[in-house]
Structure 1
């Protein structure tokens, strides 16, 4: 029981850490610090090795940052990675969000 409790606490701690790194990346992006934001999204992706709960969010946010930088082809790659996970999760609102991002990127980038 104690081991399970510790594992749950570690998972929750990891989730909070990942979530906060993604939030920091978003704050940096909104502040125009796109390269630093990309570094934070990469950090979040690395943190998701043991806890994939937020991996799709890290991919989605990195894709949006890349889109803002005009790197449409790379952005779509990250949106597609997010979509693969979201289809497995089966959350229609997340799927719709990612599909809108993909559609928008195609319109913007002429991919």
Structure 2
């Protein structure tokens, strides 16, 4: 669990850094990294609770899992798909400009 916590914190910090650095140049990538940082931050806090207070941690983990399955799956996956589609289109346009 400690290793998973450390990985979640590192993913959170890394995605937050990419979001900040790419905010002006590529807003779609920034938005995508924002979603990753929110997810990994929530996971890090839940894992920290699981390590420090196991009963509360399991409750938080179950609540987070339920929330992710019921609400987030339909909304987040659609939003992520839209952002990835915009990223793909932007990169395709840049590739076409380079090849011309």
Q: Determine if the TM-score, normalized by the shorter chain, exceeds 0.5.
A: no
TM-score (norm 2): 0.37
Which one has the bigger helix percentage? 2
Question: Which gives a bigger RCO, structure 1 or 2 (Cα 8 Å, sep 6+)?
Answer: 2
TM-score by length of 1: 0.34
